């Protein structure tokens, strides 16, 4: 089986969508599925078998992303789909319309993964427009796009419920991105601390992700004020880059946290990121709009306990309470929980013991098998319907 994936984003642009595409592309091969990509060109990326790059220009106000040409993307998708069996759209911009048009022209099934809850994001990027109007527009936009497809993949049960509430009638399949477990084991945590001047004994809380307003990192800074009352030498390490960096640095100064927060930028996923996970004592996360929360599973795979808000896509991960716990969504309560954890590490040792075993239930191989089954179903082969994620399905 050959599947065409079409996306407005891909590596070297690092985010959850790029990670999801590459994870499935790599693991689907073992399921008898060959993946061909049509994605933007960011610079001078070398030619790669199975990857078609489409020229684009920087998005205004966001030089990390690319806006590909409408005609060029449509032409590339149509040509790439010529000998494919199915089209899988990964983003809702030019790629959505190019992938949908290619599939309908070639007479192929088409599905999309709904990665991003735009209803919650747009207000951060267009604050001058009424929030209620923006949310209504985002819902209508998502409903139209999803209902034009043969199926929609969502990464969590909360996202499925939200889209159903929008009026999406296309079949909704809960299927998270799996985790390449081996990639996050055995990181050199001590070496990471030495390179960044962090004493071996200093308690470290870690956030990994895009430094953007929707990640709610400001909440973590407020919580850190309270955590320091129980654990005065706690250090919050923020690994990532993004448009909220300047605002957050100002907030750090306002709260008097200059010696308690370290922004270390983007980390290479092969070596530096696993070492960063290994260097930390706990992973913290406060996003309320996450569709899955892959970084929580990455941290757990590295043996790192998680303290996070149970919101949207993270609920599926946090609900069992294995390797993680979720304080109330209030900075004082979150900070007290973090401070208590770091000041009494032996009392919470069971979380570190539970985390890797729980992460194994979300492996990339298991999720690839489920996605391959969904592809076969759209092509008319017999299969077991894919519904809500269960412990048996994850195992």
Q: What is the mean pLDDT of the chain?
A: 91
> How big is the chain, counted in residues?
395
Write down the pLDDT at residue 391: 37
Edge-to-edge strand ranges of the sheet holding 282-285 = 261-263, 235-239, 204-208, 282-285, 306-308, 324-325
pLDDT at 185: 87
The pLDDT confidence band at residue 129, using thresholds 50, 70 and 90, is confident
State the CATH architecture for 2-178+363-394.
Answer: 3-Layer(aba) Sandwich (3.40)
pLDDT at 269: 86
Q: At 51, phi and psi to the nearest 5? A: -125, 120
More confident residue, 385 or 267: 267
pLDDT band at 73 (very low <50, low <70, confident <90, very high): very high
List, for residues 179-220, the tens digit of each pLDDT value. Answer: 888 889 889 999 999 999 999 999 999 999 999 998 999 999
Q: Can you give the pLDDT at residue 290?
A: 81
Other CB atoms closer than 10 Å to residue 109's CB: what's the count? 18
In the chain, where the domains are located: 2-178+363-394, 181-360
* pLDDT (0 to 100) of residue 387: 43
Share of the chain above pLDDT 90, in %: 76
- At 120, the pLDDT band (50, 70, 90 cuts) reads low
Query: What confidence score (pLDDT) does residue 319 get?
Result: 75
- Specify burial of residue 233 (Cβ count, 10 A radius: 0-12, 13-18, 19+): middle
What pLDDT digit, counting tens, does each position of 130-187 carry? 888 888 999 999 999 999 999 999 988 888 999 999 999 999 999 998 988 888 988 9
Residue 323 clears pLDDT 50, i.e. is over it: yes
Domain over 181-360 is classified CATH 3.40.50.2000: yes
**Identical fold between 2-178+363-394 and 181-360:** yes
The whole-number pLDDT of residue 182 equals 86
11 CB contacts (<8 Å, ≥6 apart)?
Answer: 18, 22
DSSP sequence for 324-392: EE---SSHHHHHHHHHHHHH-GGGGHHHHHHHHHHHHTTBHHHHHHHHHHHHHHHTT---PPP-S--HH
pLDDT beyond 70 at 364: yes
Banded pLDDT at 229 (limits 50, 70, 90): very high
Specify the pLDDT at position 228: 98
Is the pLDDT score of 309 beyond 90?
Answer: yes
pLDDT band per the 50, 70, 90 thresholds, residue 128: confident
pLDDT of residue 125: 61
> Helix H segments across the chain?
16-28, 70-80, 94-106, 118-125, 131-147, 157-166, 189-195, 217-230, 245-254, 272-279, 294-301, 315-318, 331-343, 349-360, 364-378, 391-394
HEC sequence for 117-152: CHHHHHHHHCCCCCHHHHHHHHHHHHHHHHHCCCEE
Rounded CA separation 372/363 (Å): 15
């Amino acid at each position: 089986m050959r599947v065409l994936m079409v996306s407005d984003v891909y590596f070297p642009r690092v985010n959850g969508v790029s990670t999801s595409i590459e994870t499935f592309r790599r693991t689907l091969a073992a399921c008898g599925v060959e993946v061909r990509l049509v994605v933007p060109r960011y610079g001078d990326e070398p030619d790669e078998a199975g990857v078609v790059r489409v020229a684009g220009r920087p998005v205004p106000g966001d030089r990390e992303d690319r806006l590909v040409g409408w005609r060029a993307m449509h032409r590339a998708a149509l040509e790439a789909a010529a000998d494919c069996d199915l089209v899988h759209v990964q983003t809702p911009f030019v790629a959505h319309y190019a992938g949908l048009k290619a599939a309908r022209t070639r007479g192929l099934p088409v599905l999309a993964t709904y990665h991003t809850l735009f209803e919650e994001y747009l207000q951060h990027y267009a604050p001058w427009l009424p929030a209620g109007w923006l949310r209504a527009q985002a819902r209508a936009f998502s409903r139209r796009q999803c209902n034009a497809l043969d199926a929609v993949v969502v990464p969590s049960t909360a996202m499925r419920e939200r889209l159903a509430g929008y009026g999406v009638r296309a079949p909704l399949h809960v299927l998270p991105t799996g985790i390449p477990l081996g990639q996050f084991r055995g990181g050199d945590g001590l070496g990471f601390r030495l390179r960044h001047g962090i004493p071996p004994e200093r308690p470290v809380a870690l956030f990994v992700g895009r430094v953007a307003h929707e990640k709610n990192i400001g909440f973590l800074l407020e919580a850190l004020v309270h955590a320091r009352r129980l654990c005065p030498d706690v250090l919050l390490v923020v690994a990532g880059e993004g448009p909220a960096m300047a605002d957050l640095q100002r907030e750090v100064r306002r709260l008097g946290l200059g010696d308690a927060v370290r922004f270390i930028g983007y980390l290479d996923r092969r070596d530096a990121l696993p070492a960063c996970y290994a260097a930390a004592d706990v992973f913290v996360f406060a996003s309320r709009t996450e569709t899955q929360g892959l970084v929580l599973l990455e941290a757990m795979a590295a043996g790192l306990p998680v303290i996070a808000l149970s919101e949207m896509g993270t609920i599926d991960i946090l609900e069992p309470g294995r390797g993680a716990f979720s304080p109330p969504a209030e900075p004082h309560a979150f900070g007290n929980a973090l401070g208590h954890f770091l000041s009494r590490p032996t009392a919470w040792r069971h979380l570190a013991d539970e985390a890797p075993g729980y992460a194994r239930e979300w492996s990339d191989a298991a999720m690839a098998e489920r996605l391959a089954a969904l592809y076969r179903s759209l092509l008319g082969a017999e299969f077991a319907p894919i519904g809500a994620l269960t412990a048996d399905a994850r195992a």
